[in-house]
Structure 1
Amino acid sequence: MSAGRFRVLVVTASRHGATAEIGAALARTLGNCDAGRAVDLAAVAVPVEQRPDPAPFDAVVVGSAVYAGRWLDGARQYVAMHAGVLRTRPTWLFSSGPIGEPPFPPDVPHDVAPLMGLTGARGHALFPGRLDEERLSFGERSVVTAMRAPLGDFRDWAAVRSWGEELARSLAADSSGVPAQT
C-alpha cells in the first residue's frame, strides 16, 4: 500500500455507458463511505479504452458490460495484459448486464471464472444493467426485438453502493490488520 492516500482504480468496459456509470458510482462510494474515509481512500473510474496503468494503485476493480454471456473484448484484454500486476494487489471484478424483473440472464458470465483465476480476484459482483433502445445500433435493436428483451434501466444502485462499502471495509481491514466485518 502506498504512503498517504489509499488509491483504488476502477476500470470499466462499457458499450453504451451503463457500466461506466456503475463504475463511477463505485468509485464515489469507495471514497465517501465511512470505511473509505477512515483510510483516506481515493478512487478513480477510468474507461478501459484509456488503458490505465494499474501499477500506481493500491487496489483495482475491473468491470465489464456483458453481451452474449461474455465480457467485452477490451475488458478481457485489459485483465490479460495486466494480470501480473493485478495478482499483486487486492482486485475485484464486476459484470453488468442482466435485465428485466427478475434479471435475465441470472448466470455469471462464462469468462469470469478464468479471469478471477488469472487475477487472483477476491470476488465478483453481478449487477443488473440497462437496455435503452435509443442508445442501440440498428443491429442491436433488431436482436432486442427478436429476443423480446425488456427495455429499461434495471440497475440496482443500492446493491452497487453496498458492494462498494464492502470493498472499502475490506481495504480498511487490510490497512489496519483487523478482519473486515461483513
Structure 2
Amino acid sequence: MDERVLVAYGSANGSTERIAETVAEVLRTAGITAEALPAGTVTDADRYEAVVVGGALYAGRWHKDARRFVRRHRGALSRRPVWFFSSGPLDSTASQRDIPPVPGVRRAMDRLEVRQHVTFGGCLTEGAHGRVAGMILRSGKGGDFRDFAAIEHWAEDVARELGAMTSP
C-alpha cells in the first residue's frame, strides 16, 4: 500500500507530539507511509491521501496550532479521510470512558465529516512551559496519564480502515 498519511499535531510541551509520533509509527508498521509533523509547519496537506490531526487540550480548547491547521487546510481535509485525537485530561478518565470532543473540535468534525475522534490522557510533568502549567504542577495535579496501549490500538484501527479503503 502506498498510502501517504500525515499526522499533524499541536503540542506545547511534547506530550501530544509523542502521541502523534506513536500513531505514525503504528501506521508505518502496517505498511503505510506516515509522518508526524507539527501542525504549524505543514504547508501542503494535499500531498497526503489521509490525515490524522491531534491537539492538546487547554481550558476546553484544542492547541492553537491544531485549530489553525484545520482552518488553513479545510479544503484539502474535506476531500480525504480524516481522524482527530485530543490529549489532555490529567487524570485517568480517558482510560475509563469515552470523552467526547470539546465543542470547537465537534464543530470541525461535523464540517469535515471526520471519521472518528478519541481523547487520550495527557501528560504534564516538571519542566513544562507556561504559567497555567506551573500552577497545575504546583497544585500536585500533574503526571503522565497517556495510555500508549490504547493509542497503539486506536492507530491500528485507523490503519485497518485505511487498508480497507485501498483494497480492491
TM-score, length basis structure 2: 0.90
- Which residue in the other structure is 2:66 paired with? 75
Distance change (3 Å), C-alpha of 1:51 and 1:158: same
Long gaps (5+) in structure 1? 178-182
For residue 111 of structure 1, the aligned residue among 94, 104, 107 is 104
Change (3 A) 1:139 1:124: closer
- 1:83 maps to a residue whose letter is R
Tell me if structure 2 keeps the 8 A contact 1:58–1:89: yes
Partner of 1:65: 56
How do residues 165-180 of structure 1 correspond to structure 2 at under 5 angstroms?
165-177=156-168
Residue 121 (structure 2) aligns with: 128
2:47 pairs, out of 33, 49, 56, with: 56
Q: How much does 1:149 deviate?
A: 5.4
**Residue 86 of structure 1 contacts residue 120 of structure 1 at CA under 8 Å; is this kept in 2?**
no
Distance 2:34 2:2 in 1: 10
Structure 1 residue 119: deviation in Å?
Answer: 1.9
Is 1:84 matched with 2:75?
Answer: yes
| Equivalent of residue 19 in structure 2, options 2, 22, 38 | 22
Of the structure 1 ranges 41-50 and 109-118, higher mean CA displacement relative to structure 2 is found in 109-118
Structure with greater Cα Rg: 1
Identity %: 37
Equivalent pair of 2:9/2:66 in contact (CA under 8 Å): yes
> Which sections of structure 2, spanning at least 5 residues, go unmatched?
none
SS at the partner of 1:133?
A: coil
Distance 1:87 1:139, change over 3 A: closer
Query: Are residues 22 and 96 of structure 1, via their aligned partners in 2, closer, same or farther at CA, if it must alter by over 3 Å?
Result: same
Is residue 2:1 matched to residue 1:8? no
Q: TM-score, normalised by structure 1?
A: 0.83
CA distance in 1, matches of 2:166, 2:117: 21
Q: How many residues align?
A: 165
4+ runs of 1 displaced by more than 2 Å? 101-104, 136-140, 142-145
Change beyond 3 A, Cα 1:163–1:139: closer
CA distance in 2, matches of 1:43, 1:115: 23
Q: Aligned-residue CA RMSD in angstroms?
A: 1.9
Report the counterpart of residue 180 of structure 1 in structure 2: none
Instruction: Please state whether the residue corresponding to 2:109 is helix, strand or coil.
Output: helix
Q: Distance in 1 between matches of 2:94 and 2:141?
A: 10
Deviations 1:32-57 (A, max 9, x none): 0xxx23xxx11100001212411011
